[in-house]
Structure 1
Amino acid sequence: MASATEKRRQAVLRAIVADFIALQEPVGSKALVDRHNLKVSSATIRNDMAVLEEEGFIQQQHASSGRMPTEKGYRAFVDSLHDIKPLSAVERRAIIDFIEGGVDLEDVLRRSAQLLAQITRQAAVVQLPTLTVSRVKHCEVVALSPHRLLLVLITDNGRVDQRNVELARPIDDAGVFALRDLLNGALFGKTLTDASASLAELAVAAPVEIADHVMRAATVLIETLVEKPTDRLIIAGAANLTHLPRSLHEVIDALEEQVVVLKLLANVPELGGVSVRIGEENEEIELHRASVVTAGYGSDGETLGGLGVLGPTYMDYPGTIQKVAAVARYISRVLAGE
């Protein structure tokens, strides 16, 4: 059990972190006494700060300046956040209304990224559901003109992909219906890996009158099913980081290196959990001056993708954790059809 002195020092550390997050300037002992009800003298606070500095939780930039948290200090602060205050009813309703306005899953996720960036004032990233765990629910075929088709591929987790197909010969309504039936017969209920194989077979065995149409549609769909990593990320709010010190501009560069961000979201916590990585806890060297808060979303207990916020190590941890968790939870509710 922590002694009274240890508990007071923990309170002093929390106060230093909270003040530095709010003001982004070093914190002095007198300011702590004035702003927080610590019930001890400035001299006692100075002694506590000296111990916290010796233990590596805070640091002093200049001999005459106050203290600022180290990464170890931020970690201790985050680990002490046992009870995150829930969002207000008004905040919850605003999030639900904005997210539920999406016309499909991708629109919901795009709105979620924009919302997270707006309410945290950081950069937000949202990962589209990985196609490898999806099964095809339907493939709609729409004739945009006699020589152009729109293919709309819908998966069981709500993801929608749209692709245009240019045709060498015109197609009539009967050809569109026949093509739709053939594609759905080959795709329905299959994992996307199996669907690619079925499409390859379909292109070879199609009726001669629509064989060329089938081949062109199958080629486009196979390219869709073999997804590129850069097709799986939605990024919003990078401009929120441009006001940060130049030492943090490499975080903006890291957002452009989308493989770095995908790695961040590859190991999100289980549904309902939130992960916080601070500074050098991030494996990627580009993010050693940043903090990253991530959560997973999904349905039926299965994680389908991740989302997160990137910002400086002096971000508002309680507020960011609360908002990332809330948005992940509401995306999961939309996926579950609630």
Structure 2
Amino acid sequence: MEPIVSVSHVKKSYQKRKDKTVVKAVDDISFQVHKGEIVGLLGPNGAGKTTTIKMICGLLKPNQGTIKIQGLDNSKHRLKSLKHISAVLEGNRNLYWRLTVRENLEYFAGNRGKSKKQVKDQIDYLLELFHLKMKEHELVNRLSRGMQQKLAIAVAMLADTEVILLDEPTLGLDVETSYEVRDILKKIVRDEARTIIISSHDMAVIQAVCERVIIVNNGKIVTDNRVEDLIALFDARQYTITLGQPLIHRQITQLKACFSNFEYESEQLKPKLVVELLSAEQIYQVFDILKKNETPVEDINRNTINFEQVFIKIIKGETGHANHSSLSSKSSKASN
């Protein structure tokens, strides 16, 4: 299957005004997004993520490499390629605040060459989908942040593009509205076979919505893989053990020697030991060390990992598996 978005060996550099030094914002990145995927494009501040987003949207031109949308190079065929993509950048700034909810939808549909009559049914559908029907005649500047954000996404959907790019779609939303937006995004992909690329710092949203993530750091892709595979990859056997008495110095020294990821919390009513195992059998090493001083174990729990922890581990380079995960993802795509 041909990718709907293809980024190939893209580079982008900037020259600082003060000392004229060249900064590589994006350094030879390549990835593909296929129809019907919902993909997270992530990275810490300054990683090159925003520059990549702006290049995909045609707001910036790469110094090198190509970006194709539906097979069209967006540098050579900018207008034609951008007909296939709509975006919500920096929250809700793609709205006119002195127009009503319905008027915004009608206005932006008109920019795409559609009349009010042509889009009436679609607007009615979107107002219901985003729970905005009761506010359709309200000025946008009187809406809550959550309603403005939902309207911004509805405007992007109204363009009927195959690809929707969302930059921080849940930024500043309350918990209830954030969950509502998540459900809407999953419904869009499931029912309409749209392709969505999400940039967000809200890792709970990425874990709940995205099938796959591309993580950028220092201008390069550090991993490209399915969310569930990354969680499984980093789902180390980490246990919290509540003890009946403090550890002695010799036990702490032995535990540190055996386990690189080891924490001991002694300044509380019940001392706690947190240890990360490389294999299930290593739990016996822990108990052997505890047994030497007959340290009683009152409770033991296996800790679960979430995607926020996975993201932090990848960015910190705490594993050598990132490149392998990227390769496995690409090879699986090629075989489909």
TM-score of the superposition, structure 1-length normalised? 0.30
Return the structure number with greater helix share.
1
TM-score of the pair, normalised by structure 2: 0.30
